[in-house]
Amino acid sequence: MPTKSQDNGKLVTESVAFGAGYTAMLIWAGSALVASFTGGEANPYWPAIPFLRTDTAGDLAFVVALVSLVVSRYLQLRRRRAAPARPAARPGGLVMVQAVAETAAVLFTAVVIYLSFNAVTHPVTLGLQLTHLLPGPSEDTVRVIALAICLVAVATSRYLRASAPRQSQPAPVPGNTDAKAGATA
């Protein structure tokens, strides 16, 4: 049985991972806005680090968000399934699949929104490679891939949530059921 300090340490890890993922998503969103509405994505994200382009900072932030939010959600699901009112716990691998699916649904929805904004603000870039870090794929291809990931992630998450064991219902106390029945009759 874990001690209170072990539980507290896991909660701190879960919380820090969520904070890092949330902040990384803000960095990615800011970089996406720069890319959608200006031509300054090659400018430094923060002048104190002159070699870190805004688009590169956004790419790195997306990866950090993906990893951090999966870790945070996994730890949250593990903590919740360990609650004493739960029946048989789910295997850790299944909990990880649910954490990945839920995180992917949120993050790739953001990717679809960003690339859709790009399609509106400067459609000429849809055929260009998504980032200077890789030779491909193009923005329009990534948008379709992100939509497919959303479909699979949302369906997986929905299925896993619906098939999860429910909390046990307390059994009625025999003496109280007769009293309630007589009071309502």
Any domain includes 20: yes
Instruction: Please report the pLDDT score of residue 39 as a whole number.
Output: 77
For the chain, what is the domain count?
A: 1
- The tens digit of pLDDT for each residue in 16-64 reads 899 899 889 888 888 888 888 887 778 887 888 888 888 898 899 999 9
Q: Which residues contact 131 (CB under 8 A, 6 or more apart)?
A: 55, 56, 59
DSSP characters over 159-184: HHHHTSPPPPPPPPPHHHHHHHHHHH
Report d(CA 108, CA 103) in Å as an integer.
8
Is residue 24 domain-resident?
yes
For residue 95, CA distances in Å to 33, 102, 168 come to 33, 11, 19
Task: Confirm whether 65 is domain-assigned.
Answer: yes
Kindly report the backbone phi and psi dihedral angles of residue 59, in degrees, each rounded to the nearest multiple of 5, phi listed first: -60, -45
Instruction: Give me the mean pLDDT over the 77-100 stretch.
Output: 79
Q: What is the pLDDT of residue 70?
A: 94
Task: Tell me the one-letter amino acid at 75.
Answer: L
For the chain, give percent helix, strand, coil, nearest 5. Answer: 70, 0, 25
H helices within 38-121, ranges in order? 54-81, 92-121
Residue 131, domain extent: 4-166
- 134 within some domain: yes
Which tokens belong to 83? 């609650």
**Is residue 182 situated within a structural domain?**
no
**What does the pLDDT read at residue 85?**
54
Q: How many CB atoms lie within 10 A of CB 49?
A: 10
The 3-state DSSP class for residue 105 equals helix
DSSP 135: S
Q: Is residue 139 situated within a structural domain?
A: yes
pLDDT of residue 166: 66
> Is residue 172, in this structure, part of any structural domain at all?
no
CB 64 within 8 A of CB 17: no
DSSP letter (8 states) at residue 173: P
What is the per-residue pLDDT for 117?
A: 83
pLDDT of 144 > 80? The answer is yes
The pLDDT tens digits for 109-143 are: 999 888 888 877 877 877 878 788 888 888 888 88
Alpha carbon distance 65, 40 (integer Å) = 23
Q: Looking at the domain assignment, is residue 126 inside a domain?
A: yes
Task: Give pLDDT tens digits for 60-73.
Answer: 999 999 999 999 99
At 169, is the pLDDT very low, low, confident or very high (cuts 50, 70, 90)?
very low
At 90-105, the pLDDT tens digits run 788 999 999 999 999 9
